[in-house]
Amino acid sequence: MTDKDKLATTEKNTALEAAPSYIPKSRRGFEDTVQSDITIPRLALAQALSPQVTDGDPARIPDLKVGDLFNSVTGQIYGRDVVVQVLRKMPLRAMEFRSIAEGGGVIDPDVPMGDERLKWGTSGDKQADKPKATLFRDFLAVVLPQREMIALSFKSSGLTAAKNLWGFATMGNRDCFAIKLRITTDVKLTPKPHQIFKVAQAGWVSEIDFKLGEEAFEAVQTIDATKIHHEEDPDAFEPAKYDATEM
């Protein structure tokens, strides 16, 4: 086999089977791990003006298309359809982002619930009255079948998908990791065309994935939602950005 053949047959991530009986269920070697050591990749959605699909942008991901789902850390492209096993729902949280006009980026990764920045103003100007901070509904999951850890982080128009996701999970009346969920993308036309998440049930997980999900559920209990990867306001549809391109 040539080196080229070897490269062609190498997968980015290999699915983990259940640990063999000779490997004990322990976590030795992780004693000094702290939250700052961890970054959880996010299932990201490419919008028309996302840096990852913009030619010439340093963040451009080759072959990524508008509407594709991708790993925010590795850049792995999942296409427009991915199946996940949800491990847990995270507590509600909020972040404050710098506006696109000011260069973007995170100002405060952990805005407390009840903070003034989460409240709407009363001036009557919808744009000016918007809360300065953004509320998120987050879930930890694994992508099947390769079992990559991924965060599902929803805001704005994605909150409908978040509620649907958790609704489907609870309707199973079993552990949340007993159900497979399919996440796809679609186009919403208002206020201007942009990409959104859609969620549907995809049946029960396999026996082996249930066992692995049970172990992963226990392992992620101490992970804080602030460890979810956010380089900027994620999957943001900003009408102002579109208006700027049409001037």
Q: Which among 18-22, 129-133, 155-159 has the top mean pLDDT?
A: 129-133
Residue holding tokens 């086999």? Answer: 1
Q: Are 198 and 186 in contact (CB under 8 A)?
A: yes
What six digits make up the tokens of 234? 């994620």
How much is the pLDDT for 177? Answer: 97
What sections of the chain are H helices per DSSP? 3-8, 126-129, 159-171, 207-219, 239-246
What six digits make up the tokens of 73? 């850390």
* Residue 108 exposed, middle or buried by CB count within 10 Å (0-12, 13-18, 19+): middle
Residue holding tokens 């953004």? Answer: 134
Q: How many CB atoms lie within 10 A of CB 232?
A: 16
**Average pLDDT, stretch 66-87?**
95
Measure the CA–CA gap between 99 and 129, rounded to whole angstroms.
15
| Beta bridge partner(s), residue 71 | 43
| Beta bridge partner(s), residue 85 | 142, 180
pLDDT by residue (tens digit) across 28-57?
Answer: 887 776 666 678 899 999 999 889 999 999
- Residue in 152, 143, 243 with CA at minimum distance from that of residue 191: 243
- Residue in 42, 40, 46 with CA at minimum distance from that of residue 60: 46
How much is the pLDDT for 148? Answer: 92
Query: What single-letter DSSP state applies at residue 178?
Result: G
Percent of the chain scoring above 70 in pLDDT: 82
Measure the CA–CA gap between 127 and 141, rounded to whole angstroms.
34
pLDDT band, very low/low/confident/very high, at 224 (cuts 50, 70, 90): confident
Phi, psi of 85, rounded to the nearest 5 degrees: -115, 115
Asked if pLDDT for residue 165 goes beyond 90, the answer is yes
